[in-house]
Every structure is written in C-alpha cells, then in structure tokens.
Amino acid sequence: MKRRGPRVMLIVLVTVALLAAFILTALPGTTRSRIGDYFGGTFDPLVSGFQKGYSVMRGYFGAVSENKRLRLQIEELEEEKAKLNLQILQNLNKLRAYDELKEALKLTTVFEDKEIHGAAVINRELGQAFDLLRIKAGRLNGISPAGNLTLPVVDQNMALIGRVHSSELGSSKVLPLLHEAFAVSAQVEGSYRSSFRVRGDLELQQRGLCLADNIAEGIPVRVGDRLVTSGDSGIYPEGILIGTVMETIPDASGKTMSCLVAPAADFDHLRYVFVLAEPDHES
C-alpha cells in the first residue's frame, strides 16, 4: 500500500501537467509560445504520425471502394460481352441457315413434281454408327411413309441422305444410306448403261463408306466417278447424287465387280435435310 500511493500521485501529476500544457498552448501570448516550444518536440511527431496514419487509412479504404466499383464494372462488361457473343453466334447460325435454305431453293426447280419439306436434324439415335437420324418434322407436317410409299431425304446440295424410316406427330426417323438395311438403284453420272445397287454395309459404315455391287461386266465404273440414282425402281427420282467411287474391287471371274463409295453428303456436319414427298399424299 505504501508503494501504490506514490504511483497514483505520479500518474495524477503527469495527467494534470499534460492537460495544463494543452490548455496553455491553446492560449494566446508568450506563455503559449514558450510552452509550445518546450513541448513541440514531443507533440509535433505525434500529430504528424496521426495525420500520416489517417491519410494511409483513408487511402486504403478509398482504394478498397474503388476496387469494388471497378470489379462491379468489370462484371457488367463481362455480362454484356457474353450477351454480345451469344447474339453473334445466333446471327451466324441464322446466316448459315439462310445460306443453306437459299441453296435449297434449287430443289424446287429440280424436283418440280415433289412436295419438299425442310427439317432440322435433332440427333443421331446411336451416335457415330449412323443407325438412324431423327429430324424435326412428322405427320403434322405431311410426312408419313404409309404403305409402300418411300420418302427420299436429301441435303441442300441435292445429295442423298437416305429415306424416311418412320414418322411421329412432330418428328421422323431417317434411315441413312450408310445403314446396312439401305439400298438404292444407281448408275454413273452421265451414263445410260445398266444400273446397279448401292447399299450400306455394316463394316464399311464405320469408315463412312457404302458399297456398290452387282455391277455387270462392261459397265464402265472408275475411281473418281460420281454415282447418282437411276430412277429405275420408281422409288427415288433420277439424278440424285449418291457419292464418289473410291476403289473398284473385281471378283475372281472378272465378270462383275463392286466399288467402295464415299457419300456426297457430309454426315458429320449435317444440320438440315429435305424430304421429297408426293404432292397428292395426305397424312
């Protein structure tokens, strides 16, 4: 208790002295100047340090606020950029569709006796095997392969895709020419010789090829020839482009041969197709 009393008195005296110094330095006259000169060396660094600290803190919080504003502005710009990119992509898709449909107008002059239905490809039923293609057009659009009626399917370049396999109200399935169940009567473009068969093959479809067989002796078929539908069967109109001969394979006797054919249609990037229907056909 004896030691504690002097400490308390010392703290009180120092506190009173500091308060007196503050009061006297605030008064005008020589007293303020002398005390200010005496205590200036102590108080000036404290005031200067406080001002610097205040400036640093104000700058820090100002920078944080500015960064937040810039971050919000960047997010708005990124969102606007994403919208513009989406709009550009949509416009490109519309432009591609317009170009394809513009090319497809030639179909109306080539197939004057057919009713042409355009449809978008929705998906492939079994992926890269090209088992079946589904298109966005069905019985509501007048597409219905009833009875023995076969509806050929072509792309905008008048290349053969296949035929309609079955139809529903709003969609249809297309059997492509690469499928092993597909067959069509064909001939060399510009030739009036006997026709032969082009069909799908289970092994060749993995290579994106189909097979031309039953080619009789004397029919000139060479690598690079373009094959078109012959129209003999009455199912497919004459002159639809099928593909190009890639390789000829003669049999042992040399009287018949077969060919490997690359389809003219680009199945990997197929987006739109056109169904050739009879004008008087009703769903």
Q: pLDDT band at residue 90, thresholds of 50, 70 and 90?
A: low
Looking at the chain, how many residues does it have? 283
Distance from C-alpha of 132 to C-alpha of 124, rounded to nearest angstrom: 6
Give the percent of the chain with pLDDT over 90: 20
Residue with tokens 């000139």: 220
Residue with tokens 């057009």: 137
How many angstroms from the chain centroid is the CA of residue 56?
A: 51
User: How large is the average pLDDT for residues 161-169?
Assistant: 90
What pLDDT, on the 0 to 100 scale, is given for residue 1?
Answer: 47
Distance from C-alpha of 222 to C-alpha of 102, rounded to nearest angstrom: 33
Q: 146 near 133, Cβ under 8 Å? A: no
What pLDDT, on the 0 to 100 scale, is given for residue 76?
Answer: 84
Helix (H, G, I), strand (E, B) or coil at 187: strand
What pLDDT, on the 0 to 100 scale, is given for residue 113?
Answer: 66
Highest mean pLDDT among 2-6, 65-69, 87-91: 65-69
Distance from C-alpha of 278 to C-alpha of 135, rounded to nearest angstrom: 19
Helix (H, G, I), strand (E, B) or coil at 239: coil
Distance from C-alpha of 77 to C-alpha of 182, rounded to nearest angstrom: 53
pTM attached to this predicted model = 0.60
What CATH architecture is 114-277? Beta Barrel (2.40)
Q: 276 near 151, Cβ under 8 Å? A: yes
Distance from C-alpha of 142 to C-alpha of 138, rounded to nearest angstrom: 7
